[in-house]
Amino acid sequence: MTDDDKEKLDKLIQKYEGKEGFLIQLLLDLQSEMHWISKEAIKELSLRLKIPVSKIFRVASFYKAMNLSPVGRHNVCVCMGTACQVRGAQRLLDATESKLGIKSGQTTRDYGFTLNRVNCLGCCAIGPVMIVDNDYHGRVDSKKVKLLLGQLASDSQN
Amino acid sequence: MARLTSIQDLEILRDEMERKRDPLRREVAICTGTGCLGLGARKVVSAFEREVELRGLQREINIKETGCPGFCEKGTLVVVSPPGIYYMGVQPDDVPEIVEETLCRGGLVGHLLYTDPVTGQKAVLEDDIPFYNHQLRFLIKNNIKINPKDIFDYIALGGYTALSRALSQMTAQDVIEEIKKSGLRGRGGGGFPTGKKWESTAQAPGQPKYVIVNCDEGDPGAFMDRALMEGNPHSVLEGLIIGAYAVGAHSGYIYVRMEYPLAVENTKFALHQARELGLLGKNILGSGFDFDVSVHRGAGAFVSGESTALMNALEGKVGEPRPKYVHTSTSGLWNRPSLLNNVETWANIPLIINRGADWFSSIGTEKSKGTKIFSLVGKVNNTGLVEVPMGMSLADIIYKIGGGIPNGKMLKGVQTGGPSGGIIPARHLQTPVDFEELTRLGSMMGSGSIIVIDEDTCAVDLARYFVDFLCDESCGKCLPCREGLLRMREILDGIVSGTGREEDLQILKEVADLMRKTSLCALGRTAVNPVLSTLSYYPDEYTAHIIEKRCPSLACKALVSYYVEPEVCIGCGLCKKNCPQGAIEGEEGSISVIDQSLCSRCGICFDVCPPKARAITKVSRGLVQSKAIEGEKA
């Protein structure tokens, strides 16, 4: 970890000083700062908080929101909730996987995209739904996926 | 913001707001709940801001971003008040027309009004729209009137009167008695009597005590808690403060799943404003009662919605359930007496305190009182959130409110209760929806999702979907759930891919029975419901997959083939262009042919085939060959 990163970590720890049960919140904050939780970060946290590495790792690996490997610049998330499922979410996921050339849970080689499936985003009425970065898109079909992702890919090349 | 130090202060503030309100100023309320945002609400808001500024109407028109009023199907929703003209499906391009026609000239924009699909009649106001006028809305009615980031909007509509009433005119015991008398039952799924839960936390020895809002709404298909937490956070908070007063707690937690970032944001904002006004903190409204709340974000684990698992998560631990031989009301968070209720349960509390237990218990059925918000989704015309009295029949919800099934398809059944629920077949649609009736049919209320399925959804595949979902979400702490789910998935995967055996059905039942009897928490115990309910209601579909190797709904990928009808193919070549496998042959202008050995059955060709041609059909596997032979003979 760079000194800059270590400083960030110290700041986050300060925020929760004196509070109980903050580990999950701290890891979530750490992730929004660094986009993922690295082995080094866990080691540093362990040293500073005097919590064993194994315990931090257990928490970080239990929760889906925590990425233990680096993620792409763009985050694509396909909702697989029941309402989306009955409206063709599987086809949407297939189309997204084939467009990006990766399976869900993977990141493209150039770290352009990370694709994940999520078990329900709670926008069930407008399914199938996907999130691209922080934007929600409703009633997405394979055509719209191509358009959305194609746009992003060409944006990041420019 | 001046701190309110007494009950009178709150009333003075409300009077002052009413006095200052400009009756001539018109309001444009735009739903910016996550649903409408997904349909482009943000751009609609910007378009209104631009248009109003362009015309210099900032003084006359107030643009308000609100929470979700429920009719997500028709988003983006825009309501112009007075008098409350309901515009639907609004796009940024429609905005100049609304401003010109309605706000400047006082007319209507006909094409944005609700149109009855049968009679063609237009509806102007909310009460004229069938989706709304068959509902009975108390909990979500105000969502379209409130900017969730403005506590004064909530106060103007009578917000925090229940709290001031409880603090000034009722003892803690009175509050508990009132909730008990109301007959309110937990809206998170279990349906446990809320008042009883409060009473046992109040009577439990030891301090500190905690109150908790469970907004870890993980049930796929349910989003009423999101809508309430996002759209009207103060209604939940007010309920929580009253609960804390009743059981003697001084700190509380709101646990929000991280998949709901807007709910997290709005809740934090609400807490901040309530604190500034003195509705949280020391000596609330001069009553001597101290209470504060913090927000805890979930980190993506379905099982954390289970009450004991949620408490583990609040402690910063892995969100696994604890054995329940000790109740959380006596030993919950940090092993202290803890009162946990679901978002919707908390939101009911101010209503009961304001209007009385007798009013509340006059709504609903014998054992299920009040209204319930359902998320009506899936294959139904009007999707969205609907709030109805307990006991309304599924048929009324689906046909009167939901407007029936789209595209002339047949209704196959209704899935309720999420992954812990079951599928109820069409023949039971007259069933009144309450806790008892749904359980009797082998499903459950759960958090209130009603997922309508039509003939295109395969019952076996849906059961497999839920088992797969739960395999992913089982925490793995106890063996019956961890292993049982894996074995069930193995079997169901086999059945939907055409390798199922007749004895599989018996094994499924045995595994289910074992899981039901021996799992640690409700996740494992109820995980079998989707399988058992489909086995009992749709046995023919299972046998069709196993014996005939056929999926009657043509939904199971391994058992279908895509086929180009040569007579209707227009040779546009779109299917060939879009096929990711390169499995389609045929030059542009000539008929396309799918090479079945290369086809991955992704269905993209089916999606892209132009509606005027509809040349690609789905058929049972094996039929393609016979069709091709027929073709050759011809």
Q: What is the per-residue pLDDT across B85-133, written as a single tens digit (0 to 9) for each?
A: 999 999 999 999 999 999 989 899 999 999 988 788 899 999 999 999 9
User: B602, B605, B606, B609: which to substitute to probe chain A, counting the most A Cβ within 10 Å?
Assistant: B602
**Minimal Cβ distance to A65: which of B220, B300, B377:** B300
Mapping DSSP onto H, E and C, the string for B282-322 reads CCHHHCCCCEEEEEEECCCCHHHHCHHHHHHHHCCCCCCCC
Contact B300 A64 (CB under 8 A): yes
**Minimal Cβ distance to A138: which of B38, B298, B475:** B38
Over residues B255-303, the pLDDT tens digits come to: 999 889 999 999 999 999 999 999 999 999 999 999 999 999 998 888 8
Q: Is the pLDDT of residue B634 over 50?
A: no
**What is the pLDDT of chain B when averaged over all its residues?**
91
Q: Is the pLDDT of residue A115 over 50?
A: yes
Contact A136 B38 (CB under 8 A): yes
How close does chain A come to B364, measured CA to CA in Å?
26
User: What pLDDT is stored for residue B235 in this prediction?
Assistant: 97
**What is the pLDDT of chain A when averaged over all its residues?**
88
B396 at interface of A, judged by CB pairs closer than 8 A? no
Q: Which residues from B are below 8 Å from A121, CB to CB?
A: 34, 259
Only one residue has tokens 């191509």, namely A146
How close does chain B come to A124, measured CA to CA in Å?
6
* Dihedral over Cα of B202, B206, B208, B212: its sign: negative
User: Phi, psi at residue B451, to the nearest 5°?
Assistant: -105, 115
Question: What is the pLDDT confidence band of residue A33, given thresholds at 50, 70 and 90?
Answer: confident
Residues in chain A, total: 158
Residues 185-204 of B with CB under 8 A from A: none
ipTM of the complex: 0.90
Q: Which residues from A are below 8 Å from B301, CB to CB?
A: 62-64
Say how many CB pairs under 8 Å bridge A and B. 164
Q: Which residues from A are below 8 Å from B469, CB to CB?
A: 80, 119
B418 at interface of A, judged by CB pairs closer than 8 A? yes
Question: What is the pLDDT confidence band of residue B629, given thresholds at 50, 70 and 90?
Answer: low
Give one DSSP letter per residue of B60-107, joined into a string.
TEEEEEE---S-GGGPSPEEEETTTEEE-S--GGGHHHHIIIIIIT--
Over residues B555-598, the pLDDT tens digits come to: 898 899 998 988 889 888 888 888 888 899 887 788 888 988 88
Going across the sheet that includes A130-132, the strands are A113-118, A74-79, A130-132, A135-137
DSSP state of B145: G
Q: Which residues from A are below 8 Å from B41, CB to CB?
A: none
Q: What is the mean pLDDT of residues B10-26?
A: 89
Q: Which residues from A are below 8 Å from B317, CB to CB?
A: 21, 23, 59
Q: Which residues from B are below 8 Å from A124, CB to CB?
A: 220-223, 375, 377, 383, 449, 451
**Minimal Cβ distance to A142: which of B319, B449, B604:** B604
Contact B378 A86 (CB under 8 A): yes
How close does chain B come to A76, measured CA to CA in Å?
13
Contact B377 A83 (CB under 8 A): yes
Q: Which residues from B are below 8 Å from A127, CB to CB?
A: 377
Question: What is the pLDDT confidence band of residue A146, given thresholds at 50, 70 and 90?
Answer: confident
Contact B316 A120 (CB under 8 A): no
Contact B73 A24 (CB under 8 A): no
Rg (CA), chain A: 18
User: A57, A78, A123: which to substitute to probe chain B, counting the most B Cβ within 10 Å?
Assistant: A123
Question: What is the pLDDT confidence band of residue B623, given thresholds at 50, 70 and 90?
Answer: confident
Structure tokens at B485: 């789910």
- Cα–Cα distance, B352 to B358 (Å, whole number): 9
8 A C-beta contact, residue B421 and residue B435: no
Contact B607 A141 (CB under 8 A): yes
Residue B454 pairs in a beta bridge with B411
**Minimal Cβ distance to A83: which of B318, B319, B378:** B378
* H helix or E strand, kind and range, residue B211: strand B210-215
Structure tokens at A1: 């970890």
Over residues A54-105, the pLDDT tens digits come to: 999 999 999 988 999 999 999 999 999 888 888 889 889 988 998 899 999 9
B296 at interface of A, judged by CB pairs closer than 8 A? yes
A80 to chain B: nearest residue by CA?
B220
B299 at interface of A, judged by CB pairs closer than 8 A? yes
Q: What is the mean pLDDT of residues B346-373?
A: 96
Contact A129 B38 (CB under 8 A): yes
Q: Which residues from B are below 8 Å from A54, CB to CB?
A: none
Question: What is the pLDDT confidence band of residue B625, given thresholds at 50, 70 and 90?
Answer: low
Contact A82 B472 (CB under 8 A): no
B313 to chain A: nearest residue by CA?
A24
* Dihedral over Cα of B182, B186, B189, B192: its sign: negative
B607 to chain A: nearest residue by CA?
A142
How close does chain B come to A126, measured CA to CA in Å?
6
- Cα–Cα distance, B375 to B372 (Å, whole number): 10
